[in-house]
With several copies, the nearest count.
Chain A
């Protein structure tokens, strides 16, 4: 029952997720006597049996966590037999098809059964999934997986080309999902499979030409409320970042034009912290004077180090102490002792970060330079009773 109900401890035969670190997971099926090689060394399956899900497992060269399988973790770790749907599209499909316990769903093709697991999770224990796959091996493998995952009672897998032979289902389904190269050939049979009181349909296609043709036929066949979307997820890397404050030189007229780098918000101080602010300004000023012309080079080196270190990524999945002063621990920085973390509260800007040793330090969620640009178009439609 591992995919439709949680249990506390690992038993032989369970599919479990090994979480090594962010982005490094494996799905394995626990079998007494077997061993699984991780990058942290060998892991004996028997050591997992009886462990509580969520436990930390120590390996020869590191540790990992053993997680309870979910359709989402399975999607991230399943063996790819085809392109698969990922959780962003899966959640959209599940939501837009109004799936819930008791729903009867028709799916083709089964593919790698990524979506199938999520559908079964949502419609169990009272619903049923009819899934169709034209590639024989894939159909067999999927059926095997459902069996292993304890969910075979909620799903019927058929090896069949539904575009040619149809689903062979009469008015039983609340929803139909199509991921086919030529989905329009399956629409007539899909309509036949939907309940007489109506239902929802989704067609997933990577190319717009498929969508155009599908929509055309959907309209002809009396489907309504056509809704074509794309759903892209953008994941942020949350990290403490910093940008150095450039040296704008000194000016005797500090209050007027000078020192803006160190205390740009001086005019906007809240009354409560004005005194603290003064301290800050002073301490920065002191630093500046000590590090003046002859020592400029050293100051610069630190700056560029800070730039290098600018992105102190809180490496994912590991606790990572934010050590705002880590730069000063480098041996090159002789004047580390002199440093002081300085806060500039009060101005609106201190809501965004703080000035720390001539760096502007801030928390940011960095957008990824590479992200999914396209998975496929999802076309939804409703069939209503006539």
Chain B
């Protein structure tokens, strides 16, 4: 199977300008975008990066990108706006007229041309205003998008645009900085706390591509918490096998253990053998849609209770059912389905039949299954006892200071501590307390200004709206404690 070809079972990203959605490719399953319903069947077999359009409810490969602004722009254009009057009646085509044209199978070009021709003021607009007008109409009336592979950049952008609260308002440039300042790379051992639904875990795994270890510390006492975004990365098993989980609620007692049994570290078994116990994150996923912004904490416990009592194959399959439902649901939610709730219902309803492929995939990933939650945690403990962390990354909804204080002793000397927070004050607290505790140097507390530009002939300027909130980053470097 060529990794560059859209295949059944893949998670795929649909990009239509700022509107980004993730779906899993299932034959004959409806998906929705901009209130338009279609299936992804026709996408299978095309390479990633292909442009598609939806026409009369059918997905088609777009042979040629629809006419550009320049092509439509009429020769007649106004010099400035001195003769323009603001009136509602400037467009003579009604929305109904336009919908009628679409239904009658009118070509995209023709629809846009019609809209332009029925604009009373179009000819008086300046050339640039004409181009802007056409672009707006195209985006509104044409259903053209590209299908690309999920990665940290697309997933972060999707969530940041649609549900920033779910990812602690972590902006792409800040995520990039976390990875850079954490010196994340192949072969290292990373410790992290991710309250961003798995976005950061995924971004770290992506930068390691199967070599190294990642220990994710999660709130609660169970083996893991739901991380819907992590699933969307669609990692192959060798990548997800790097991931180990550890419940923060056991961290204090574990630290005490390690203190009394320090020399143990040499005697534990080789950690590589631990890897095939993993991929618990898909198994433990719960219905994201019903929770909404309420986050995973309470539900974790619900789930953990279940998992503890019923740790067998049958339950695993049942969980997969839920999982697959969520795999649809969660992305949709993130893609702003709450805005068009009718669609949301439909998507929820069609979670019934699970494709064989889907099941097979999951089974394969979990072939070593059957390990108890306690065993999983013991395995992770071995990783922590074997390896000092090469970096510690915290991007959490929880107050960072106590977490940092509990985990910094696991960090090797001369390694980065990277803490992200939406708020400045908790980070200043963390900064202050880490400095007071000692053992760290080279303190930095930063925020980032990200400024986007429109670069067009004679119309270059920063974009009119910007995001003023990058969140804050606290970075420092551990030293050897004497």
Which A residues are closer than 8 A to B by beta carbons? 4-6, 19, 22, 52-56, 65-68, 70-72, 81-82, 87-88, 90-92, 94-96, 98, 100-102, 118, 121-122, 124-126, 134-135, 137, 161, 181, 197-198, 206-209, 211-212, 215-216, 226-236, 238, 241, 243-253, 256-262, 264-265, 267-268, 293, 296-297, 300-301, 303-304, 307-308, 310, 314, 316-317, 319-320, 322, 347-349, 352-353, 359-360, 362-374, 376-377, 379, 382, 384-385
Known: A65-B479, A258-B252, A368-B469. A297 touches B301 (CB 8 A): yes
Which B residues are closer than 8 A to A by beta carbons? 4, 47-51, 80-82, 85-86, 146, 151-153, 164, 169, 172-173, 175-177, 179-181, 183, 185-188, 206-209, 211, 219-221, 248-253, 255-256, 259, 293-295, 297-298, 300-302, 305, 390, 396-403, 405-406, 412-416, 421, 423-426, 428-429, 431-433, 435-438, 441-469, 477-480, 482
- 22 sampled A-B residue pairs with Cβ under 8 A: A6-B390, A52-B480, A56-B480, A65-B414, A91-B173, A122-B185, A126-B186, A197-B4, A215-B455, A230-B462, A233-B446, A233-B449, A243-B421, A244-B399, A248-B251, A249-B251, A296-B249, A314-B432, A373-B466, A374-B463, A374-B464, A382-B49
Name 14 extra pairs, CB < 8 A, besides A95-B172, A261-B402, A300-B301. Answer: A19-B442, A52-B413, A124-B186, A126-B209, A231-B450, A248-B249, A251-B255, A260-B405, A301-B297, A310-B397, A364-B425, A367-B468, A372-B465, A384-B51
CA distance A52 to B438 in the complex (A): 18
Please determine whether B452 and A317 come into contact, CB atoms closer than 8 angstroms: no
Q: How far is the CB of B84 from chain A (nearest CB, A)?
A: 8
Please determine whether A22 and B443 come into contact, CB atoms closer than 8 angstroms: yes
Task: Return chain A residues, CB-CB under 8 Å to B426.
Answer: 243, 352-353, 360, 362
Task: Return chain A residues, CB-CB under 8 Å to B251.
Answer: 248-249
Task: Return chain A residues, CB-CB under 8 Å to B305.
Answer: 297
Please determine whether A373 and B463 come into contact, CB atoms closer than 8 angstroms: yes
Task: Return chain B residues, CB-CB under 8 Å to A300.
Answer: 219-220, 297-298, 300-301
Please determine whether A264 and B401 come into contact, CB atoms closer than 8 angstroms: yes
Q: How far is the CB of B474 from chain A (nearest CB, A)?
A: 9
Partner among A122, A249, A265, A377 whose Cβ is within 8 Å of the Cβ of B453: A377
CA distance A126 to B186 in the complex (A): 9
Q: How far is the CB of B263 from chain A (nearest CB, A)?
A: 18
CA distance A261 to B405 in the complex (A): 8
Task: Return chain A residues, CB-CB under 8 Å to B453.
Answer: 211, 228-230, 377
Please determine whether A68 and B414 come into contact, CB atoms closer than 8 angstroms: yes
Task: Return chain B residues, CB-CB under 8 Å to A369.
Answer: 164, 169, 467-469
Task: Return chain B residues, CB-CB under 8 Å to A359.
Answer: 399
Please determine whether A360 and B429 come into contact, CB atoms closer than 8 angstroms: yes
Task: Return chain A residues, CB-CB under 8 Å to B175.
Answer: 95
Q: How far is the CB of B151 from chain A (nearest CB, A)?
A: 6
Please determine whether A118 and B255 come into contact, CB atoms closer than 8 angstroms: no
Q: How far is the CB of A131 from chain B (nearest CB, A)?
A: 16
CA distance A362 to B208 in the complex (A): 37
Task: Return chain A residues, CB-CB under 8 Å to B249.
Answer: 247-249, 296
Q: How far is the CB of B18 from chain A (nearest CB, A)?
A: 11
Task: Return chain A residues, CB-CB under 8 Å to B186.
Answer: 4, 101, 124-126
Partner among B256, B412, B446, B462 whose Cβ is within 8 Å of the Cβ of A236: B446
Task: Return chain A residues, CB-CB under 8 Å to B461.
Answer: 206-208, 374, 376-377
CA distance A304 to B294 in the complex (A): 7
Task: Return chain B residues, CB-CB under 8 Å to A72.
Answer: 180-181, 183
CA distance A371 to B465 in the complex (A): 6
Q: How far is the CB of B161 from chain A (nearest CB, A)?
A: 10
Partner among B173, B187, B250 whose Cβ is within 8 Å of the Cβ of A125: B187
Q: How far is the CB of A208 from chain B (nearest CB, A)?
A: 5
Known: A212-B455, A352-B425. A134 touches B153 (CB 8 A): no
Task: Return chain B residues, CB-CB under 8 Å to A53.
Answer: 413-414, 480
Partner among A100, A216, A226, A310 whose Cβ is within 8 Å of the Cβ of B457: A216
Task: Return chain A residues, CB-CB under 8 Å to B460.
Answer: 207-209, 211-212
Known: A207-B459, A229-B451, A373-B452. A251 touches B468 (CB 8 A): no
